Amino acid sequence: GCGKCWKVVGTSNAPGYEGVETTLVLKGTNFCPDGNPLCGAGPHFDIAAPGFDVLAYSFAHTCPSRETEEEAGFAACGRWMMDSQDPNANCDCTLFNSPILRKGCQSFYDLKWDNPSVTYEELDECPAELSRLHCEHPYAAEDAMPEFCASNIEGDTVEPVCGDALCDMVGGESCSTCEVDCGVCPPVCGDDICDSDQEETCSTCEADCGACPAVCGDDFCDIDQEETCSTCELDCGVCPAVCGDGVCDSDGGETCLTCEEDCDACPQECGDGVCDSNVGETCSTCAADCGECCGDGACDAAEAGETCETCAEDCGPCS
């Protein structure tokens, strides 16, 4: 309701600026007009930030006509994150002449809130910075608006109070000076501090935490982490057989035929119907497979001991 203060917590979500949580304390100074179909019956609030009103659809678009000198400022950021998804485009708060309006525009723009989901709760009382402001109807002097409103920029200043649930960035409060009001600072990757409290790990910030150790079984053969077929067969596969290493590696395809050096000579299998010269089978060593030597047309004295006396058929008659 009007005059009440609300603690609102949101997180930046504009591209390139994600993840910064900010806590605001806002004062309700208006209500949703009955003519606005977007109000609905549920809880609703709309942050009024100078320059961010979409004038084509706004139900409160009399400011440009009442303050013609600020007409350009009131339209400064109305199309932000609408015509372009570049968060650095379509917003220029310097178009305001008034430092108060310019500061209000810039403060909201710096949040980088693009319609984020927020949490909010009603406060028991408004902080001093807001309780002294009078910017709600009925105005003491209607024609004196907005100059009649008190300002936190001009005039007397109120020192920021850490712990009042208001992150007073104008007063110098930040996540590093007042965590209770402004929230925990996001981790800064690259500051040479592996901050586990801020959930920095080797996977989220290698610059601070170093490279993650290889994990055998993650289906990635990480040669940078010295994973090999010999240290992690799950990731890198079975090592190929190396003939001559003294190991007859059957998984690697080594046999007596492919690597006699490791697997020894293959045993002869005489009688299998195959005259296998690779295993030393001949007519003289295995007649069952290779046939009788005598009668093959070759007088083989060296291997078969054939002579004219033992095999005249191959060697001819003795003279």
Helix (H) or strand (E) holding 140: none
With H, G, I as helix, E, B as strand and everything else as coil, classify residue 71. Answer: helix
**In the numeric block, which tokens belong to residue 242?**
């190396």
Question: If DSSP codes are grouped into helix, strand and coil, which group holds residue 93?
Answer: helix
Phi, psi angle pair for 22, to nearest 5°: -135, 140
Q: Name which of 22, 207, 243, 231 is nearest 119 in CA terms.
A: 22
Which stretches of the chain score pLDDT less than 70? Answer: 1-2, 29-44, 59-61, 131-160, 166, 168-171, 268
Q: Which amino acid is at 125?
A: E
List the domain boundaries for the chain.
1-173
Pairing of strands 119-122, 5-11: antiparallel
| Amino acid 158: pLDDT | 54
pLDDT of residue 186: 74
DSSP state for residue 286 in the 8-state scheme? -
* Tokens 């723009």 -> residue: 109
Interatomic CA distance for residues 279 and 285, integer angstroms: 11
Tell me what pLDDT residue 178 has.
Answer: 87
81 neighbors 113 (Cβ within 8 angstroms): no
Q: What pLDDT sits at residue 41?
A: 61
Q: Where are the alpha helices (DSSP H) in the chain?
A: 63-66, 71-74, 99-111, 128-131, 179-182, 206-209, 233-236, 260-263, 287-290, 301-304, 312-315
Contacts of 159 (CB under 8 A, 6+ apart): 171
Which pTM does this prediction carry?
Answer: 0.44
In this structure, the number of other CB atoms found within 10 A of the CB of residue 52 comes to: 21
pLDDT value at residue 151: 55
> pLDDT, tens digit, for every residue of 8-60?
999 999 999 999 999 999 887 666 666 666 666 666 677 888 999 887 777 65
Q: How far, in Å, CA of 39 to CA of 43, rounded?
A: 8
Using CA atoms, how far residue 147 sits from 2, 69, 140, 151, 314, in Å, is 20, 14, 11, 9, 131
Contact between 275 and 286 (Cβ < 8 Å): yes
Question: 252 phi and psi, to 5 degrees?
Answer: -90, 5
Contact 239, 230 (CB under 8 A): yes
Interval 72-82: pLDDT, tens: 999 999 999 99
How far is the C-alpha of 192 from the C-alpha of 210, rounded, in Å? 10
Angle at 170 between CA 8 and CA 70, to 5 degrees: 90
